[in-house]
Amino acid sequence: MPQLAILNQKGGVGKTTTAVNLSAALADLGNRVLLIDLDPQAHATLHLGVVPNDETTSVYDVLCRDADIAAVVQPINERLSLIPSSIDLAAAEVELAGEVGRELLLRDHLAKIADDYDYVLIDCAPSLGVLTLNALVAVDEVIIPLQPHFLALHGLSKLLETIEVVARRINGRLRLGGVVFCMFESGTRLANEVTRDVDSFFERVGERKTPWSEARPFRTRIRRNIRLAEAPSFGQSIFQYAADSHGAEDYRNLAKEFVAASGAGQGSHAHAA
């Protein structure tokens, strides 16, 4: 069962939008999906209409208080579930500092419930700290959202280096599944130049065996669409908020492309439509 982290240490590139709407699209295709919000800002949690309060048990309780992970899962609809974040999670970095094996916590908790889902997605914080490390150890695949502007590739080598170190030392399964262009403005010269740069970047790195030698940009590009920016304030995925929008169409296509790509690699998607 594929487990993937949506990761880029930059903020504002489309991680949360992709994590929430790809999760919802995969669920709409008939899969049982769990989304874990691993960002203390709790944007994915809010996007799905869950407003954390003092009583909410969150991924913080799992990682720092050894809470039962199954008890923290909140159903969003028939097939989509969420493990919410909360602001407490900002303290995890410090609270776990002295803990031996702190980067293995999420993997070990997740193993108890992973069989209940066809896909597990993790929305990461914009950093490469202990929370993100927990995500990289728990998953088998990373998807990197990129915004096609001229600094798109800046910082990517640091991210790939981190993935390679985790793959070498702790999680041999880890690989880069691909990059997704978000907030894409087709027809602009800049977007075309950046996508060409990114394409040739991945063609070049493919010459050496790395966790990203097989990775490519997804063919589906997520166009800039105001409905995607509006949906979070209604606590709804794009499919509830504006099912006929370009945003819904693009994330539906991304989910299909993703299922086809991962199905070809593993052939294990009994529930995929």
Q: Where are the beta strands (DSSP E) in 68-184?
A: 74-75, 80-83, 119-124, 141-146, 175-181
Q: Is 151 in the site for ligand ADP (CB under 6 A)?
A: no
Q: Segment 172-201, which members bind ligand ADP (CB under 6 A)?
A: 182-183
Give the containing element (helix H, strand E) for 251. helix 246-266
Q: Is 222 in the site for ligand ADP (CB under 6 A)?
A: yes
1, 7, 13, 89: which one contacts ligand ADP (CB under 6 A)?
A: 13
**Residue 183 binding partner per list Mg ion, ligand ADP, none, with a CB distance cut-off of 5 to 8 Å that depends on partner kind:** ligand ADP
d(CA 252, CA 248): 6
**Residue 13 binding partner per list Mg ion, ligand ADP, none, with a CB distance cut-off of 5 to 8 Å that depends on partner kind:** ligand ADP
Nearest to 15 by CA among 34, 49, 38: 38
**Residue 102 binding partner per list ligand ADP, Mg ion, none, with a CB distance cut-off of 5 to 8 Å that depends on partner kind:** none
Q: Are 139 and 3 in contact (CB under 8 A)?
A: yes
Closest CB 249 distance from Mg ion, rounded Å: 22
Tokens of 272: 């995929």
Q: Is 102 in the site for Mg ion (CB under 5 A)?
A: no
d(CA 252, CA 28): 9
Q: Are 4 and 140 in contact (CB under 8 A)?
A: yes
- Complex with Mg ion: residue 85 or 210, whichever CB lies closer: 85
Q: Is 47 in the site for Mg ion (CB under 5 A)?
A: no
Query: Interface residues with ligand ADP (CB under 6 A)?
Result: 11-17, 43, 126, 182-183, 222, 224-225, 228-229, 232
